Structure 1
Amino acid sequence: MNENQIQRGQQWLGELLHLAGVKASIEADTARLESEGSCWLIINAESLSPEQVQMVTGSKGTVLDAIQYLANTTLNLGQPEQDQQAYTVELDGYRARRQAELQAMAEAAAQQVRDTGQEFEMMDLSAAERRQIHTFLQAFEDLETYSRGREPDRRLVVKRASDAPDSI
Structure 2
Amino acid sequence: MDEQIQRGKKWLETLLTLMGVPASVTIGRVEQEERAISCWLTIDETKLTPTVIENLIGKKGETIDALQYLANVLLNIGVLDGEERFFTVELNGYRIRRQAELMAIAQKAADRVRITGMPEEIRYLSSVERRQVHSFLEKSGDLATESEGNEPDRRLIVKLRR
Output the TM-score relative to the length of structure 2: 0.94
Aligned partner of residue 3 in structure 2, secondary structure:
helix
Q: CA deviation at 1:116?
A: 1.2
Match of 2:91 in 1: 91
Identity of aligned residues (%): 49
Output the aligned Cα RMSD.
1.3
Match of 1:77 in 2: 77
Alignment of 1:107-122 (within 5 A): 107-122=107-122
Alignment of 1:1-168 (within 5 A): 2-29=1-28, 31-34=29-32, 37-162=37-162
Q: CA deviation at 1:3?
A: 2.7
Q: CA deviation at 1:35?
A: 6.4
Greater fraction helix = 1
Aligned partner of residue 76 in structure 1, secondary structure:
coil
Q: What runs of 5+ residues in structure 2 fail to find an aligned partner?
A: none
Aligned partner of residue 135 in structure 1, secondary structure:
helix
8 Å CA contact retained: 1:27, 1:41: yes
When structure 1 is superposed on structure 2, of 79-88 and 146-155 the one drifting more is 79-88
Instruction: Give aligned pairs, total.
Output: 160
When structure 1 is superposed on structure 2, of 2-11 and 17-26 the one drifting more is 2-11
Q: Which runs of 4+ in 1 moved over 6 A?
A: none
Q: CA deviation at 1:138?
A: 0.8
Q: What runs of 5+ residues in structure 1 fail to find an aligned partner?
A: 163-168
